[in-house]
Amino acid sequence: MKLRVVFAGTPDFSVPCLEACRASGAEVVAVYTQPDRPAGRGRKLTPSPVKQAAVAAGIPVEQPESLKSAEAQATLAGYKPDLMVVVAYGLILPRKVLAMPRLGCWNVHASLLPRWRGAAPIQRAILAGDAESGVDLMQMEAGLDTGPVLLERRTPISRDDTGGSLHDRLAALGADVLAEGLARVMAGETLASRAQPEEGVTYAHKLDKAEARLDFARPAIELERQVRAFDPWPVAEGEVAGETLRIWAARAIDGQPGAAPGSVLNMARDGIDIACGEGALRVTALQRAGGKRVTAADYLNAMRTRDAS
């Protein structure tokens, strides 16, 4: 069965799913993505990663500010989609849009629902110390990430995972689960759905740059997760020996009883140890204002050079 698919997505996370749609044999008749936004130091209008991929593939691109207007809905209806696939699109789909395709709308969501519904499930899972994450292929309905789950993929979260590494792994898993769903539907199968349980619902609120500030009065393990979750954005920052630095990599270690939170316990090639409310945080990669990311060893070498001059 040939499918006419409209794909809706915006950031890098969505691109592997767009490629999975194209590789599936479905006909991607249009791509919907957010309007071009200012980016970079020059604040130049920049197309989204999904738009760039769609243009390169010769797929028509639509960029409405909203899907609420009759005009926007008429344009979408004109593509006569059998299915709409939504992956980190960033716009709310009105009920009329959800009901428009013959097979409804699918969403690829980067969590194990109902845990971490909402905007930032990848980072929230790391911050909370979750042992695993995954992606769900979900049949969309009017609520925020409340629809029944069609297919799921799981992956453990390791202590070395960052927001970036988990993002990339889940993006690949999302493409994998979407490819399976499309293949089975095009083979004539009706996918069985599983209603989300009412227990275990949590919300992954959008990241705020203010959350990146490290409070050394908190337990070191929580700060380690904060550093990992906010790599590559917004990047954790904290005061080290009187200087505010961006903290790119750190590990919770045993501390010194009675040490004041925020005090530097040790500076060595393998890291700078900072006392916390519980334990200590060993900072191994950091960045000065206006500088670049360096190892703790390189930072200390530069500091000694500055002090000697």
The CATH number of the domain holding residue 281 is 3.10.25.10
Peptide bond into 234 cis (omega under 30): yes
Q: What is the mean pLDDT of residues 168-180?
A: 98
Q: Residue 43's pLDDT is what? A: 87
Residues 257, 161: one domain? Answer: no
Q: With a cut of 90, say whether residue 149 has pLDDT above it.
A: yes
Task: State which of 159, 183, 204 marks the end of a domain.
Answer: 204
Q: 306 pLDDT band (50/70/90 cuts)?
A: low
Residues 132, 229: one domain? Answer: no
The torsion region of residue 284 among left (phi > 0), alpha (psi -120 to 50) and beta comes to alpha
Q: With a cut of 70, say whether residue 89 has pLDDT above it.
A: yes
CATH code of the domain in which 164 resides: 3.40.50.170
Q: How many CB atoms lie within 10 A of CB 244?
A: 11
Residues 174, 236: one domain? Answer: no
Please report, in range form, the residues annotated as the binding site for (6S)-5,6,7,8-tetrahydrofolate. Answer: 111-114
Integer-rounded Cα Rg, in Å, for the chain is 23
Task: State which of 145, 170, 204 marks the end of a domain.
Answer: 204
Residues 53, 126: one domain? Answer: yes
Contact 135, 152 (CB under 8 A): yes
Q: Residue 261's pLDDT is what? A: 97
Residues 144, 56: one domain? Answer: yes
Q: What is the mean pLDDT of residues 122-143?
A: 97
Q: Residue 2's pLDDT is what? A: 84
Residues 31, 112: one domain? Answer: yes
Residues 275, 200: one domain? Answer: no
Q: With a cut of 70, say whether residue 72 has pLDDT above it.
A: yes
Q: What is the mean pLDDT of residues 197-209?
A: 95
Average pLDDT, whole number, for the chain? Answer: 96
Please report, in range form, the residues annotated as the binding site. Answer: 111-114
Q: What is the mean pLDDT of residues 106-115?
A: 98
Task: State which of 176, 204, 232 marks the end of a domain.
Answer: 204
- List Cβ neighbours of 242 (8 Å cut-off, separation of 6 or more): none
Q: Residue 42's pLDDT is what? A: 83
Q: What percent of the chain has pLDDT over 70?
A: 98
Q: What is the mean pLDDT of residues 39-64?
A: 94
Residues 117, 213: one domain? Answer: no
DSSP 80: -
Q: With a cut of 70, say whether residue 240 has pLDDT above it.
A: yes
Residues 260, 141: one domain? Answer: no
Beta bridge partners of 236: 247
Q: What is the mean pLDDT of residues 194-216?
A: 96
Q: With a cut of 60, say whether residue 3 has pLDDT above it.
A: yes
For tokens 């703790």, what's the residue?
296
- State the total domains in the chain: 2
Q: Residue 309's pLDDT is what? A: 56
Residues 262, 134: one domain? Answer: no
Residues 199, 106: one domain? Answer: yes
Q: Residue 305's pLDDT is what? A: 73
3-state secondary structure of 176: helix
The four Cα atoms 154, 104, 144, 162 give a dihedral, to 10 degrees, of 30
Residues 81, 221: one domain? Answer: no
Q: 195 pLDDT band (50/70/90 cuts)?
A: very high
Q: Give the structural domain span for 272.
A: 209-308
